[in-house]
Structure formats: C-alpha cells, structure tokens
Amino acid sequence: MINVKPRPLLLAISAPSGTGKTTLCDRLVSEFPSMKYSVSCTTRSPRDGEIDGVDYLFLDEAAFVARIAEGAFLEHASVHGYRYGTLRETVLDAFAAGQDVVMDIDVQGAEQIRTLLHEPANRELQRAFIDVFIAPPSIESLNARLKGRGKDSDEVIARRVQQAEVELQHWSSYRYFIINDRLDASYDALRSIIIAERHRIFSSSEA
C-alpha cells in the first residue's frame, strides 16, 4: 500500500458580492466535514444576527493595526472602506487539527497570498492553496440579483456593481474560474475542483 498523507487544502474563494458565493461555500462546508470556514477579522460593525468570533472577529481600528504590526495576518486588505484580514494562526491551527480551510477573501487578499507562496518557508501553504474566482454571468444579471434581494439601497447597489466591475478584471489571476449561471452546475464545478485537488500528485520539485 502506498503511504500518502493527504495534504490540507486552503481554498480561497473570491467573488463580487451578489454572485452566490456564500450559498456555494455553505454547501461545500456542509458536504465536506473536513472543510472549515476561516473566521476573518474586520473593522466593520456586526450586522444584525452576526456573532463575534463566529461570523468575524470584530476589532476596532487600533486593535487591527496592532495585529498588523505583530505580523499576525496572513493577508489583510481594505474593502468597502473597512479592514479585513485572515490571521495566520487561524489557518495553521486548522491545518494542525487536520482540517481544510475555506477563505472568503477579496482579490487583494488572494494576490497577497499568491505572493507569499514564492517564499520557500511557505511550502505547506503553497501545496495547500487553491484559488477560485466566481463570476456572475453578466453585470446586468448581478444588478438584477442585487435588486431582487431587496437588502440594499440603490446607492449601495450601484457601488457594489461598480466594485464588481473592478474585481472582475482579476479573474485570470486565479487557477479556477466558475461563472455562476445555474447554482447546481456551479456547485458541481466547485466540488469537482476539491475532489480533483485531493487527488493531485506533486512532482518531486514541488513535493
């Protein structure tokens, strides 16, 4: 019998807001028990129903900046005027517990992690990292979807659509790309990526 220890997976998913990313990630986490959401830090205030330590670790600006100075973040970025970041220890503790990690991060955060992967000290991260960009079928469909949710004002929707146009310019930096036209088909694509990555063999220069 070949003795192969499965490597942990670090799945970074980026998508403009309103693309269906949360639904897809929730399905993934419920189908694959080893996959855990990474709880990020943010300086934005909790929304109704959000719980500190569950949805995010809610930090004030000073606490967030102190964590940056300590080098505690694997990546951090400003999104919609607030800071967001993934703590190194969140990912490393999950790996140590034999879990895979799902990160919902913006395009800047994904780019920062890709840069880190070039460092020889980050070989485990390099092998674990899988980045997926989820896109709406079109800007018009995104606009219609955000309006249909009835959650945001016209002004907020206009800002999100504008932001989506900027984020969409980064799709080709990702290894995988899914256009979320039909949810079931998109989910099939996402779970197929995970299954294929679990079966990936690394060449001796990558191992």
Task: List interacting residues with ligand 5GP (CB under 6 A).
Answer: 17, 40, 44, 75, 77, 79-80, 84-86, 104-106, 108-109
Nearer to ligand 5GP, 6 or 162 (CB): 162
Residue nearest to ligand 5GP (CB): 109
The helix (H) or strand (E) run that includes residue 35 is strand 35-37
Between 90 and 126, whose beta carbon lies closer to ligand 5GP? 90
Burial of 14 (0-12, 13-18, 19+ CB in 10 A): buried
Query: What's the token pair of residue 144?
Result: 């219609």
Q: Which of 32, 27, 194, 9 is nearest to 101 (CA)?
A: 9
- Max distance between CA atoms of the chain, in angstroms, equals 60
Minimum CB separation of residue 191 from ligand 5GP in Å reads 20
State in angstroms the smallest separation of the CB of 8 from ligand 5GP. Answer: 18
Q: How far apart are CA 175 and CA 200, in angstroms?
A: 14
* Residue 171 DSSP SS3: helix
* Comparison of 3 and 169: residue with beta carbon closer to ligand 5GP: 169
Nearer to ligand 5GP, 9 or 107 (CB): 107
Minimum CB distance to ligand 5GP, residue 107 (Å): 8
